[in-house]
Amino acid sequence: MKKILLSVVFTLLSVFGFAQTEWAADPMHSSVNFNVKHMGINFVQGRFDQFKGRITTEGANLDHAVFDFGVEVNSINTGVEMRDKHLKSADFFDADNYPAMSFHSTSITKDKNNSYILKGTLKIKETVKEISIPVTFGGVAKNQQGKEVMGFQTKFTINRLDYGIKYDPTGAGVAKDVEVSLYFEVVKQ
């Protein structure tokens, strides 16, 4: 009887110890930003104002986490309406045919301190490519409403030509490399 009771207790502990936790992006405390060199002498900065993100974790850390994020292309914002319209056109993102970009993780590995290496697939237009990005885990806290929140950030570079964004293929006017910076606060669901 003792053995059965202990088996039940250990089973319950293992189930609760590995219970999955869902987290959703808080758009008021998150941002999706980019930075691209213009004519080799300056940088144009922009952001996407509409995005969604979900993380599934085993507890309150990023170990074994699964990331799913999407960005609405029509929400691009560089602060210049004419440029934003051009970026939405077929020259760049072709938002009419490809209204969203997405990322889905395939693995995450703890690096050192609060750093991780996140691997997954990034889809822009019809191109899906595997990428590895560094993630810095900011930790977990309670927000003003008493809800548990988690923070993380990442910065990485992609070559826009790899994703079918072929405008100015020489990179003389608009650089090939685009620096992406993501800052996310996610709320426990």
Q: The domain containing residue 150 runs over which residues?
A: 20-188
Residue pLDDT, tens place only, 40-64: 999 999 999 999 999 999 987 888 9
Residue 3 lies in a domain: no
Assigned domain for 6 exists? no
Say which CATH number the domain at 25 has. 2.40.128.110
Say if 30 falls within a structural domain. yes
- Please say whether the beta carbons of 106 and 123 come within 8 A: no
d(CA 142, CA 53): 19
**Residue 86 covered by a domain:** yes
Residue 183 inside a domain? The answer is yes
Q: Would residue 136 count as lying in a domain?
A: yes
Between β-strands 42-48 and 31-38, what pairing exists: parallel, antiparallel or unpaired?
antiparallel
Does 9 fall in a domain?
no
Please state the pTM of the whole predicted model. Answer: 0.86
Q: Which of 120, 188, 89, 108 is nearest to 148 (CA)?
A: 188
In a structure prediction context, what are the per-residue pLDDT tens digits for the chain, which is 189 residues long?
555 444 444 444 444 445 799 999 999 999 999 999 999 999 999 999 999 999 999 987 888 999 999 999 999 999 999 999 999 999 999 999 999 999 999 999 998 888 999 999 999 999 999 999 999 999 999 999 999 999 999 999 999 999 999 999 999 999 999 999 999 999 999
φ, ψ dihedrals at 153, nearest 5°: -145, 160
| pLDDT value for 13 | 42
Domain count, the chain: 1
Of 150, 139, 153, 181, give the one whose Cα is nearest residue 56: 150
Q: Is residue 4 part of a domain?
A: no
